[in-house]
Amino acid sequence: MCQYLPKLLWIYLPKNKLLEYDHNINGDYMEYKSIWQNNNERTTLNKLKDNLTVDVLIIGGGLTGMQTLYQLRNSNLKIALVEARKIGYDTSLNTTGKISYLQGTVYQELTKRYSLSVAHHYLESQLEAQNTLVDIIRKNKIACDLEKTPSYLVATNTKELKKVKKEKEILQKLGINVSEENITYNEDSAYALKVTDTYVFHPLKYLNALTNLCFKKQKNIYELTKIIKIVKKEQYYQCYTAKNYILAKKVILACHYPFFIFPYLFPFKTSVEKSYISASPFPNQHYSAITANKAPISIRFQKDNMLYLTKSSPICNNLNESKNYQELKKKVEELGLSPTNLWKNTDIITVDKLPYIGYITKNNPNLLIGTGYNTWGMTNSTLASLILKDLVLGNSNRFTNLCNPLRISMKDTFSLTKNLGYSLSGFLKSKISKNKDFYQNVIIKNINGKSIGIYQENGKTYQVYNKCPHLGCSLIFNAKEKTWDCPCHASRFTKEGKCIKGPSCYDISYKE
Ligand SMILES: Cc1cc2nc3c(=O)[nH]c(=O)nc-3n(C[C@H](O)[C@H](O)[C@H](O)COP(=O)(O)OP(=O)(O)OC[C@H]3O[C@@H](n4cnc5c(N)ncnc54)[C@H](O)[C@@H]3O)c2cc1C
């Protein structure tokens, strides 16, 4: 079994000087983008050109938005979906694409925090979501490299061993068929639990096919259409883009991180976690694995590539992106691999490891959200689509209470404070780091009382406001991807200042 697992999980990072070039050990050029983008372009859909009135507006075309549209496609409702950029080109593009109910040590965490029955309920939700996603793919014959593969949860030290054994015990109590295996690496032995009924797929091929399927039934799908403001007007929400508006009776926020602060106070309710991923040519293997620690190593295979994920941390930590990428590359090259793609991704972490799906305010059935998937968004976005469909159609759903975004308990006080701490830490670090040496070819200048970031490349100068329009954090220049990144809540901007990732919905271009 897993003959490569021992070697891959051997993490040893010497502290000597990091490599400085953008080629892998074979000398091939390396791309700073996700592997799913390779050869999978789809023609962009039209942007919204007129005002529109609909029953339901879905904001965001990632897995949550598109699957919700798919679930509602046969209803009699008039529905529109708007996507700020291109469908599937944000968080869902940068995932590792494991469809799995085995999610680290989540079942023991839920048992400890709530009870075994809540853990059981969550397991049922994940199994239902997994089956639904696989059914959609099979029923519509979607060619998205779906493969049933076993998943391993691996212990690489005694602390992790205790956790993995506990997870096995709980999963068995919950009726899951779990087996165990001992893996040896170097001189050591690692313990792993194994389940066999999990999957991997190609998320962008899936989303592209779903977009085509939905577009046949529902022409109101718009790309390059960003909602920047929502105002309540009698029985409608008036949702503004830069030039038009959409009047909608119900609004579904499928935008990952909402772009407004009130009423939901998202920076308190969640934190943002980032991780770094590489893809390297590798003989195809048929399993996935993840270690049982807080910053896990996760691997899966995609045809002749191995995806290797590491360096997970709160977004406010490790601000030097060049260093993060160099460390990732070095780690992977030490395993004898030659990465072709390196990329990063961020996801939203909730206080109790359960997603936020449902009504965003009390006594208002017209503003809904699906987010907070704790890095397990393939199943949880599918679960969101099922719950949101039922809430929109007035049906009951057995997982509504479990995922209620309005749940709050005294137990959350510490986590809520910690989340606020992360936001503050990102804010302060962003201010302090302004003139750090990782701003290659960048200076931050005060011009007319405004902090301006100036980046030079090939004799050209690019100027931006160095302040995130979301909550005012200073932006860090990511010299590898040539973007300005917010270390508080993950907004990103091109070197020209165009916003390419929320929660900010405004550009930061500066012209003298
Ligand atoms: C490193 C990493 C690896 C992961 N790997 C896995 C995995 O293997 N398996 C798994 O189950 N999960 C995984 N996840 C989690 C998963 O990728 C996400 O939870 C999921 O993709 C989120 O989907 P989404 O549709 O909610 O968000 P998104 O895909 O981000 O979609 C939101 C969309 O809304 C749009 N939008 C935002 N604001 C606006 C606006 N104002 N107007 C219009 N449109 C807007 C955005 O452009 C975007 O396209 C991983 C996460 C990370 C960070």
CA 63 to centroid of ligand 1, rounded, Å? 7
- Best residue for ligand 1 mutational test, from 66, 82, 220, 256 (most atoms within 8 Å of Cβ): 256
**pLDDT value for 409:** 82
Tens of pLDDT, residue by residue over 429-470, are: 888 876 565 566 788 888 999 999 999 988 899 999 999 999
Q: Percentage of the chain with pLDDT > 70?
A: 92
By three-state DSSP, how is residue 294 classified? coil
CA 372 to centroid of ligand 1, rounded, Å? 10
CA 60 to centroid of ligand 1, rounded, Å? 9
The confidence band for 14, taking pLDDT boundaries of 50, 70 and 90, is: very low
* Mean pLDDT, residues 327-340: 93
HEC string for 476-491:
EEECCCCEEECCCCCC
CA 186 to centroid of ligand 1, rounded, Å? 37
> Following CA atoms 87, 88, 89, 95 in sequence, which dihedral angle do they give, to the nearest 10 degrees?
170
- Best residue for ligand 1 mutational test, from 96, 198, 312, 346 (most atoms within 8 Å of Cβ): 96
User: CA end-to-end span of the chain, whole Å?
Assistant: 62
Closest ligand 1 atom to Cα of 60: 34
Q: Whole-prediction pTM value?
A: 0.94
Cα separation, 342 vs 325, whole angstroms: 7
The ligand 1 site (C-beta within 6 Å) comprises: 59-65, 82-85, 89-92, 95-98, 226-227, 254-256, 259, 275, 277, 309, 345-347, 371, 373, 375-379, 381, 502, 505
The confidence band for 268, taking pLDDT boundaries of 50, 70 and 90, is: confident
Tens of pLDDT, residue by residue over 186-210, are: 456 789 999 999 999 999 999 999 9
Phi, then psi, of 98 in degrees rounded to 5: -90, 130
- Best residue for ligand 1 mutational test, from 42, 70, 95 (most atoms within 8 Å of Cβ): 95
Which domains can be identified in the chain, with CATH numbers? Answer: 5-37+145-200+268-348 (3.30.9.10), 426-501 (2.102.10.10)
CA 83 to centroid of ligand 1, rounded, Å? 12
Tens of pLDDT, residue by residue over 111-168, are: 999 999 999 999 999 999 999 999 999 999 999 999 999 999 999 888 999 999 999 9
CA 65 to centroid of ligand 1, rounded, Å? 10
Instruction: Say yes or no to pLDDT of 22 above 70.
Output: no
Cα separation, 363 vs 345, whole angstroms: 35
Tens of pLDDT, residue by residue over 245-261, are: 999 999 999 999 998 87
**pLDDT value for 431:** 81
CA 347 to centroid of ligand 1, rounded, Å? 7
